[in-house]
Amino acid sequence: MGTRRDPTARQLRLAVELRRLREAAGLSAREAAALLGVNSVQISQIEAGTTGVSEERLRRLAAHYACTDTGLIDALAVMASDRVRGWWEEYRGRLPTAFLDLSELEHHATFRWDVDFLHVPGLLQTEGYARALFSRRVPELPEEELGLRVRHRMQRGVIIEGPRPAPYRAVVHEAALRIKVGGREAMRGQLARILELSEAEHVTVRVIPFELEEFADVTAAMVYAGGAVPRLDTVLRDGPDGVALVDTEARLAVFRTLFHRVEAVSLDPLRSRDFIHGLAKEL
């Protein structure tokens, strides 16, 4: 297989998991290469994501590494043989790579969880809300890129509205629902959109009102995407230096616990809908 100049986040994740399997087996790259009859440079390239790996070679490596997790091996094999060029490819070279990586991650997600405190989660946003939000960026975005970002955000909605929607659970703080992004009318439309989406059986939206006292110790905004097996889950977190991906088992366990805690202290779905209805009437 040829070398890649810019591997995607999914390709890099496959590479990382293969390195983790090798290290867990206590083998060096040179030893792994000898087992396959290749040189150590090829193993290093595979583990850097700059070279792909065939399903046959991946399964041979897993066997040499004494990995008995058949679910994980099968999931990695699917990743290795994946040749999908999704709708997000039209934005390559036009939007930051993080936007494409998020779309690819969502496309393959088995479920999706969101927790947000200051903004409505992206998958629930209306076009007007998204445009107003991107318009506030500093430095200001050129009109062409602003339009691309808004269109990309709207297309991401396929994960919950497309032909094969993924189970989706969102927890949103009251603050995010009260901040009038785009003005009063835009926010009225945004609340209506959340109510509309939450009617679907696979979509659950919960609200954290200001009055909940139990909330203070469970603050952790996140985008959590489920993998084919729990080990392949991924958390995305926005930071001052951009988007950070969390994929180690220990950290994923922490975020799973935090999400369940946030859900536990939030209003149930029915009360949350009533709460959002009440906010809409105030506008």
Poorest-pLDDT segment among 4-18, 59-73, 148-162, 203-217: 203-217
In 3D space, the residue among 42, 151, 179 whose CA is nearest the CA of residue 94 turns out to be 151
Task: Give dist(CA 215, CA 22) in Å, integer.
Answer: 41
Kindly report the CATH number that applies to the domain delimited by 9-81: 1.10.260.40
Task: Give dist(CA 20, CA 234) in Å, integer.
Answer: 16
Q: Is the pLDDT of residue 48 over 90?
A: yes
Average pLDDT over residues 98-117: 95
Q: What is the CATH architecture of 87-282?
A: 2-Layer Sandwich (3.30)
Check if 9-81 and 87-282 are the same fold: no
Average pLDDT over residues 78-96: 92
Domain ranges (residues) in the chain? 9-81, 87-282
| Residues contacting residue 16 through CB under 8 Å, at least 6 positions apart | 47, 49, 247
pLDDT in tens, 133-143: 999 988 899 99
Q: Is the pLDDT of residue 210 over 70?
A: yes
